[in-house]
């Protein structure tokens, strides 16, 4: 009961109002995911195609991303 009151106080809303907000957010999220999946389901691109497309862009059009250490991909190499 105490947690319920703390939650209501923190959000300045009742539990049913909080639940409705969360449900609406979940509905929007899943709708967005479904649309994104539908739009991209027939798209295929290889890493080589991505590298080729990026290589064709002017260097000043590419964002500067600072090197932050090792990639999250354990198989990545500095030239991949």
Any idea which residue has 């319920």 for tokens? 4
Q: Is the pLDDT of residue 74 over 60?
A: no
pLDDT of 78 strictly over 60? no
Helix axis angle, 2-11 relative to 15-40, nearest 10°? Answer: 70
User: What is the band of 62 on the pLDDT scale with cuts at 50, 70, 90?
Assistant: confident
Tell me how crowded residue 59 is: count the other CB atoms within 10 A of its CB. 6
pLDDT above 80: residue 29 = yes
The token pair at 78 is 């500095």
Residue 28 pLDDT greater than 50, yes or no: yes
Work out the mean pLDDT of the chain and round it to a whole number: 87
Cβ count within 10 A of residue 53: 10
pTM of structure: 0.53
Give the chain's length.
80
């Amino acid at each position: 009961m105490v947690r319920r009151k703390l939650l209501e106080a923190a959000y300045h809303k009742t539990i049913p109002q909080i639940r409705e907000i969360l449900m609406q957010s979940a509905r929007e999220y899943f709708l967005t995911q479904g649309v994104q999946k539908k739009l991209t389901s027939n798209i295929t691109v290889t890493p080589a195609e991505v590298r080729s497309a990026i290589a064709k862009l002017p260097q000043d059009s590419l964002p500067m991303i600072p090197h932050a250490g090792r990639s999250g991909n354990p198989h990545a190499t500095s030239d991949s």
